[in-house]
Structure 1
Amino acid sequence: MKNTIKILCTDIDGTLLNEERWLSNRTITAFSKIQLPTILASSRPPQAMRYLQEGLGISGSALIAFNGGLILGENGKLIESNKLSTKILETLKKHHSNHNYNLSIYSFEHWFTAREDQHTKHEIFTTRDSPKIQSVAQTLDFLVSKELGIHKLMCMGTPDELDSIVQFLSPIHGNEVHLYRSKDTYLEITPKYIDKAKALKKLLDTDFDHGIDTVIAFGDNHNDDELLRNARYGVAVANATDNLKSMADYVSPYTNKEDAVARTMEKMLL
């Protein structure tokens, strides 16, 4: 295993972080010992990943944000940006005006939302990032005037509200968007044909001397399916979905809160 693995790629939330949404001492120690290029791949925006890179001692390393929507090489070099059209937000704005769910809008390192509620506060705690509070109309004006697209829309609310968004958007923009439930109360909307594996292949082709067949990858949820399926060695943590476990090469007996990534590294790479 140690001779065939050249790169480590890991999801963040539900996989790498402990119950305090931080890196355990065991995790930090394991990463300091392996001496492998490490790529974080997450649905998070890049500014919510850099403090974790710093904690792992890999500041300035390449990363994959927005589930593959934004690929950044070393020191923030832009490799690829896959965005939604602002027309999709114009459509969703009509639905949002009649409901109470939180609508968060992400473009590069911008995070906009119309109000600070329990969902916003939870995201601030989880990601150590803060949004700009303004109306959807103001955000649309800004994005259009700056000619910026949207990397991700995140809707946070009741399961029934999120179901209604899927029913509303699918007939209009179903060919353009991927509607992903990261949990019952979270709906993430991204460009349809992106995923972490495609992004990783692009990053490796551009900035590395090794292919995805030399990668050990870690994950826990549906947005990690392709990553684990395509990596040389895919590891699902104990709290992963059943589907992800079924396609993993190895299922850790430990959850993210029990240092699953670090324990696997110790077992297989150290």
Structure 2
Amino acid sequence: MKQKLIAIDLDGTTLNSQSEITPRTKEVLHAASQAGHIVSIVTGRPYRISQQFYDDLGIKTPMINFNGALGHIPHENWNKEYADTFSRDIVFELLEKRNELGIKMSAAEGKTLVLSDTVNNNVNEFFPVITQPEQLLTAKNLRQDPSAMTMWIEPENKQNVIQKLQKEFGDYINVGIWGGPYSILELSPKGINKARGVKFLADNYNIAREDIIAFGDEHNDTEMLDYVGWGVSMQNGTTELKNLANDITPLTNDQDGLADYLSNYLNLAK
């Protein structure tokens, strides 16, 4: 089979509900790599909470973080690495309006930038735990433009905050909504999405668009699945994504759905 670029989302796709990569999924992704295909992680997660999965898979390909805003090879100084950002002044303004907007917690991040405005006791790994004063998200500590800002919002304020953000900063940022139990908004540079990261990967490897296959489950995978030659929604994916996708995995992420589908699609030996 012709060489494929395989772009894999993490949460709800490569990872099961326990945020683990199962032995079966690891086996199939290794087999795909051994067959000459390129496997790359394309995730909304920050680098700090995706590196362990990259290492667990043992791949050496570039990884895309922050929904396309960061492209890099972990553990290497890669001359093609990129980082898209937005002005830190937006962060400063939102910090000043924290109480007015009902923001319970916020963080600003980049590849090595990790700042949070409060100690994290509630939202597990998705907000950074701070232990030192220099890790606080303040105007003094934020010395560079971030690739992402995440905000935990009071649920009743969410739509109002989205409207205000889009009205005031819509020319400079995207406003994303996380799935799951928490009311979390994510700001990213305007026009950046996972399709940007996938195109970067494809250009790097000289892979034609029609030879890219991508797997996802949530709204932030929409542009990626729409862009690639063959976009696959997980069985546990959103209705919107299933309607957009070229195909849907018969099994969920808790049933090794990615591994099952990819093994059949690539005709990998069982």
Q: Which category describes the TM-score, using the shorter chain as reference length?
A: 0.7 to 0.9
In the alignment of these two chains, the number of paired residues is 259
Instruction: Choose 105-114 or 135-144, whichever is displaced more.
Output: 135-144
Q: How does 1:61-72 map to 2 (within 5 A)?
A: 61-72=61-72
TM-score (ref. length: structure 1): 0.87
- Asked whether the 8 Å contact 1:196–1:223 carries over to 2, the reply is yes
CA distance in 2, matches of 1:108, 1:4: 33
Superposed CA offset, 1:133-169 (max 9, x none) = 659985322233xxx2111111123322333321332
Give distance in 1, aligned partners of 2:72 and 2:221: 19
- Distance, in Å, in 2 between the alignment partners of 1:130 and 1:116 is 6
The amino acid that maps onto 2:155 is P
Measure, in 2, the Cα distance between the counterparts of 1:158 and 1:138.
19
**Aligned ranges for residues 75-90 of structure 1 at < 5 Å?**
75-77=76-78, 78-90=80-92
TM-score by length of 2: 0.87
RMSD over aligned Cα, in angstroms?
2.2
**Which residue of structure 2 aligns with residue 245 of structure 1?**
242
Corresponding residue number in structure 2 for 1:37:
38
Where does 1:39-54 land on structure 2 (aligned, <5 Å)? 39-54=40-55
The one-letter amino acid paired with 1:160 is E
How far 1:95 moved relative to its partner? 1.9
Match of 1:151 in 2: 147
SS of 1:141's equivalent in the other structure is: coil
Alpha-carbon offset, residue 132 of structure 1? 5.6
Residues 15 and 253, structure 2, Cα contact 8 Å, conserved in 1:
yes
Q: Which residue of 2 aligns with 1:231?
A: 228
Residues 43-95 of structure 1 deviation map (CA, whole Å, 9 limit, x = unaligned)? 1112322211111121x420111001111147352532110101111221122
> Structure 1 residue 21: deviation in Å?
0.5
Shift of 1:246: 1.1
Match of 1:180 among 173, 176, 180: 176
Tell me, yes or no, if the aligned pair for 1:112 and 1:132 is still in contact at 8 Å: no
What is the aligned counterpart of 1:102 among 105, 122, 130?
A: 105
Deviation of 1:195 (Å): 1.1
- Partners of 1:14 and 1:111 lie apart in 2 by 24
Q: Which range is displaced more, 250-259 or 66-75?
A: 66-75
Deviation, structure 1 residue 254: 1.6
1:15 match: 13
Q: Please say if residues 212 and 232 of structure 1, whose CA atoms lie closer than 8 Å, have aligned partners that are also in contact.
A: yes
Q: Is the 8 A contact 1:103 1:154 kept in 2?
A: yes
SS of alignment partner, residue 115 of structure 2: strand
Look up the SS of the partner of 2:146 in the other structure. coil
Misfit runs of 4+, over 6 Å: none
Alignment correspondent of 1:166: 162
Residue 140 of structure 1: SS of its match in structure 2?
coil
Which residue does the alignment assign to 2:117? 114
Give 1:100 shift.
4.8
Following TM superposition, by how much is the alpha carbon of 1:108 offset from its aligned partner in structure 2, in angstroms? 2.1
Equivalent position amino acid for 1:143 in 2 = L
For structure 2, the residue ranges without an aligned partner over 5 or more in a row are none
Q: Identity of aligned pairs, percent?
A: 24
Query: 1:196 & 1:259 partners in 2: Cα distance?
Result: 23
